[in-house]
Amino acid sequence: MTGRLEIDMSLVGNEAPDFTAAVVTADGGFDSFTLSEQRGKYVVLFFYPLDFTFVCPSELLAFNHRMDEFTKRGVEVVGCSVDSEHTHWAWRQTPVESGGIGSLNYSLIADLDKEIAYQYDVLHEEKVALRGSFLIDKEGVIQHAVINNLPLGRNVDEMIRMVDALQFHETHGEVCPAGWNAGDEGMKDTHDGVAEYLSKNADNL
Protein backbone atom coordinates (compact mmCIF):
# COMPACT_ATOMS: atom_id res chain seq x y z
CA MET A 1 0.00 0.00 0.00
CA THR A 2 1.08 3.60 -0.49
CA GLY A 3 3.80 4.66 1.93
CA ARG A 4 4.71 1.14 3.04
CA LEU A 5 8.23 -0.18 2.85
CA GLU A 6 8.67 -3.08 0.47
CA ILE A 7 9.26 -6.39 2.21
CA ASP A 8 12.10 -8.30 0.53
CA MET A 9 12.12 -11.67 2.20
CA SER A 10 11.27 -15.27 1.62
CA LEU A 11 8.75 -16.25 4.27
CA VAL A 12 9.44 -19.99 4.40
CA GLY A 13 12.59 -20.74 6.35
CA ASN A 14 12.64 -17.32 8.00
CA GLU A 15 11.23 -15.88 11.19
CA ALA A 16 7.53 -15.17 10.94
CA PRO A 17 6.73 -11.44 10.86
CA ASP A 18 5.67 -10.46 14.36
CA PHE A 19 2.50 -8.53 15.12
CA THR A 20 0.15 -7.59 17.91
CA ALA A 21 -3.55 -7.33 17.14
CA ALA A 22 -7.01 -7.47 18.67
CA VAL A 23 -8.69 -10.87 18.68
CA VAL A 24 -11.95 -12.52 19.52
CA THR A 25 -10.89 -15.44 21.70
CA ALA A 26 -12.19 -18.99 21.71
CA ASP A 27 -14.51 -18.14 24.61
CA GLY A 28 -15.99 -15.20 22.70
CA GLY A 29 -14.21 -12.43 24.57
CA PHE A 30 -11.95 -9.64 23.34
CA ASP A 31 -8.20 -9.69 23.90
CA SER A 32 -4.83 -8.93 22.33
CA PHE A 33 -2.64 -11.47 20.51
CA THR A 34 1.12 -11.15 19.96
CA LEU A 35 2.68 -13.78 17.74
CA SER A 36 6.11 -13.70 19.36
CA GLU A 37 4.52 -14.57 22.71
CA GLN A 38 3.64 -17.97 21.25
CA ARG A 39 7.29 -19.09 21.14
CA GLY A 40 7.55 -22.63 22.43
CA LYS A 41 4.33 -23.59 20.63
CA TYR A 42 3.58 -24.55 17.07
CA VAL A 43 1.28 -22.02 15.44
CA VAL A 44 -0.98 -22.39 12.43
CA LEU A 45 -1.87 -18.91 11.19
CA PHE A 46 -4.43 -18.89 8.41
CA PHE A 47 -5.87 -15.97 6.46
CA TYR A 48 -9.26 -15.78 4.81
CA PRO A 49 -10.87 -12.97 2.77
CA LEU A 50 -13.83 -11.70 4.79
CA ASP A 51 -16.42 -12.53 7.42
CA PHE A 52 -19.98 -13.10 6.18
CA THR A 53 -18.83 -14.45 2.82
CA PHE A 54 -19.11 -17.82 1.12
CA VAL A 55 -16.18 -20.26 1.04
CA CYS A 56 -14.83 -18.78 4.29
CA PRO A 57 -17.31 -20.30 6.78
CA SER A 58 -16.65 -23.78 5.38
CA GLU A 59 -12.94 -23.33 6.03
CA LEU A 60 -13.36 -21.92 9.53
CA LEU A 61 -15.65 -24.78 10.45
CA ALA A 62 -13.23 -27.30 8.94
CA PHE A 63 -10.46 -25.97 11.19
CA ASN A 64 -12.81 -26.05 14.16
CA HIS A 65 -13.86 -29.64 13.53
CA ARG A 66 -10.19 -30.67 13.66
CA MET A 67 -9.16 -28.71 16.73
CA ASP A 68 -8.72 -31.87 18.80
CA GLU A 69 -6.15 -33.04 16.25
CA PHE A 70 -4.28 -29.74 16.38
CA THR A 71 -4.45 -29.56 20.17
CA LYS A 72 -2.99 -33.02 20.73
CA ARG A 73 -0.07 -32.00 18.50
CA GLY A 74 0.53 -28.87 20.58
CA VAL A 75 -0.61 -26.46 17.86
CA GLU A 76 -2.17 -23.04 18.44
CA VAL A 77 -4.58 -22.22 15.59
CA VAL A 78 -5.48 -18.59 14.80
CA GLY A 79 -7.51 -17.20 11.91
CA CYS A 80 -7.11 -13.73 10.44
CA SER A 81 -9.06 -11.50 8.07
CA VAL A 82 -9.27 -7.79 7.33
CA ASP A 83 -12.42 -7.45 9.45
CA SER A 84 -12.63 -5.86 12.90
CA GLU A 85 -12.90 -7.88 16.09
CA HIS A 86 -16.49 -6.66 16.39
CA THR A 87 -17.39 -8.14 13.01
CA HIS A 88 -15.70 -11.40 14.03
CA TRP A 89 -17.81 -11.39 17.18
CA ALA A 90 -21.02 -10.77 15.24
CA TRP A 91 -20.23 -13.62 12.81
CA ARG A 92 -19.75 -15.97 15.74
CA GLN A 93 -23.24 -15.01 16.95
CA THR A 94 -24.75 -16.01 13.60
CA PRO A 95 -25.96 -19.65 13.49
CA VAL A 96 -24.26 -21.98 11.06
CA GLU A 97 -27.55 -22.71 9.31
CA SER A 98 -27.81 -18.98 8.57
CA GLY A 99 -24.32 -18.74 7.07
CA GLY A 100 -22.51 -17.95 10.30
CA ILE A 101 -19.80 -19.87 12.12
CA GLY A 102 -21.20 -20.13 15.64
CA SER A 103 -18.70 -20.59 18.46
CA LEU A 104 -15.13 -21.59 17.62
CA ASN A 105 -12.40 -23.24 19.64
CA TYR A 106 -9.70 -20.84 18.40
CA SER A 107 -9.16 -17.08 18.14
CA LEU A 108 -9.83 -14.75 15.21
CA ILE A 109 -7.43 -11.88 14.59
CA ALA A 110 -8.64 -8.45 13.44
CA ASP A 111 -6.51 -6.97 10.64
CA LEU A 112 -8.61 -3.93 9.81
CA ASP A 113 -5.64 -1.89 8.56
CA LYS A 114 -4.46 -4.87 6.44
CA GLU A 115 -0.92 -4.67 7.83
CA ILE A 116 -0.68 -8.34 8.83
CA ALA A 117 -1.95 -9.54 5.44
CA TYR A 118 0.61 -7.25 3.82
CA GLN A 119 3.47 -8.60 5.96
CA TYR A 120 2.56 -12.17 5.00
CA ASP A 121 2.21 -11.27 1.31
CA VAL A 122 -1.41 -12.38 1.03
CA LEU A 123 -3.07 -9.00 0.51
CA HIS A 124 -5.11 -9.18 -2.68
CA GLU A 125 -5.62 -5.98 -4.69
CA GLU A 126 -5.20 -3.94 -1.49
CA LYS A 127 -8.61 -5.20 -0.36
CA VAL A 128 -8.81 -8.66 1.21
CA ALA A 129 -6.54 -11.53 2.19
CA LEU A 130 -6.01 -14.54 0.00
CA ARG A 131 -6.40 -17.98 1.60
CA GLY A 132 -2.90 -18.22 3.04
CA SER A 133 -1.89 -20.87 5.58
CA PHE A 134 1.37 -20.75 7.54
CA LEU A 135 2.90 -23.36 9.84
CA ILE A 136 5.25 -21.72 12.35
CA ASP A 137 7.55 -23.83 14.52
CA LYS A 138 8.41 -23.41 18.20
CA GLU A 139 11.27 -21.06 17.34
CA GLY A 140 9.00 -18.75 15.37
CA VAL A 141 10.24 -19.89 11.93
CA ILE A 142 7.79 -20.48 9.07
CA GLN A 143 8.20 -24.10 7.97
CA HIS A 144 5.29 -24.39 5.51
CA ALA A 145 3.13 -21.97 3.57
CA VAL A 146 0.43 -22.35 0.95
CA ILE A 147 -1.74 -19.66 -0.65
CA ASN A 148 -4.99 -20.32 -2.49
CA ASN A 149 -6.82 -17.85 -4.69
CA LEU A 150 -10.21 -16.62 -3.50
CA PRO A 151 -12.46 -19.31 -5.07
CA LEU A 152 -10.37 -22.27 -3.85
CA GLY A 153 -11.02 -23.62 -0.37
CA ARG A 154 -8.05 -25.19 1.39
CA ASN A 155 -7.62 -28.74 2.68
CA VAL A 156 -7.21 -28.55 6.46
CA ASP A 157 -6.12 -32.20 6.65
CA GLU A 158 -3.07 -31.27 4.58
CA MET A 159 -2.02 -28.83 7.30
CA ILE A 160 -2.30 -31.61 9.89
CA ARG A 161 -0.11 -33.77 7.64
CA MET A 162 2.46 -30.97 7.50
CA VAL A 163 2.47 -30.69 11.31
CA ASP A 164 3.08 -34.44 11.51
CA ALA A 165 5.89 -34.20 8.96
CA LEU A 166 7.58 -31.34 10.81
CA GLN A 167 7.36 -33.12 14.15
CA PHE A 168 8.64 -36.37 12.61
CA HIS A 169 11.64 -34.52 11.17
CA GLU A 170 12.33 -32.79 14.48
CA THR A 171 12.14 -36.09 16.40
CA HIS A 172 13.95 -38.44 14.03
CA GLY A 173 16.16 -36.14 11.95
CA GLU A 174 14.94 -37.77 8.75
CA VAL A 175 13.21 -36.03 5.84
CA CYS A 176 9.71 -36.77 4.59
CA PRO A 177 9.37 -37.88 0.96
CA ALA A 178 6.43 -37.25 -1.36
CA GLY A 179 3.10 -38.39 0.01
CA TRP A 180 4.50 -39.07 3.48
CA ASN A 181 1.90 -39.66 6.20
CA ALA A 182 2.22 -40.29 9.92
CA GLY A 183 3.36 -43.87 10.44
CA ASP A 184 5.33 -44.03 7.17
CA GLU A 185 9.08 -44.41 7.12
CA GLY A 186 11.22 -41.37 6.49
CA MET A 187 14.33 -40.93 4.40
CA LYS A 188 17.90 -40.21 5.46
CA ASP A 189 19.08 -37.11 3.62
CA THR A 190 22.11 -38.80 2.08
CA HIS A 191 22.78 -40.40 -1.32
CA ASP A 192 22.64 -43.82 0.32
CA GLY A 193 19.46 -42.86 2.14
CA VAL A 194 17.57 -41.84 -0.98
CA ALA A 195 18.81 -44.91 -2.85
CA GLU A 196 17.63 -47.17 -0.03
CA TYR A 197 14.23 -45.46 0.14
CA LEU A 198 13.61 -45.49 -3.61
CA SER A 199 14.66 -49.10 -3.95
CA LYS A 200 11.69 -50.01 -1.75
CA ASN A 201 9.15 -47.30 -2.54
CA ALA A 202 9.70 -45.80 -6.01
CA ASP A 203 6.78 -47.68 -7.60
CA ASN A 204 4.36 -46.47 -4.92
CA LEU A 205 5.10 -42.74 -5.16
pLDDT of residue 205: 86
What percent of the chain shows pLDDT beyond 70?
A: 96
Crossing angle of helices 55-65 and 156-172, in 10° steps, is 40
- Alpha carbon distance 54, 49 (integer Å): 10
What percent of the chain shows pLDDT beyond 90?
A: 92
Residues 126/78/25/39 CA torsion (nearest 10 deg): -120
Q: Is 176 a catalytic residue?
A: no
> pLDDT tens digits for 66-112?
999 999 999 999 999 999 999 999 999 999 999 899 999 999 999 99
**Active-site option among 21, 56, 101, 122:** 56
As to burial, measured by CB atoms within 10 angstroms (0-12 exposed, 13-18 middle, 19+ buried), residue 58 is exposed
Q: Stretch 154-171: mean pLDDT, rounded?
A: 97
Give the helix/strand (H/E) hosting 124: strand 123-124
- Alpha carbon distance 189, 135 (integer Å): 22
Using 50, 70 and 90 to split pLDDT, how confident is the model at 5? Answer: very low
pLDDT of residue 8: 46
Using 50, 70 and 90 to split pLDDT, how confident is the model at 7? Answer: very low
In the chain, the domains with their CATH numbers are 20-153 (3.40.30.10)
Give the helix/strand (H/E) hosting 55: helix 55-65
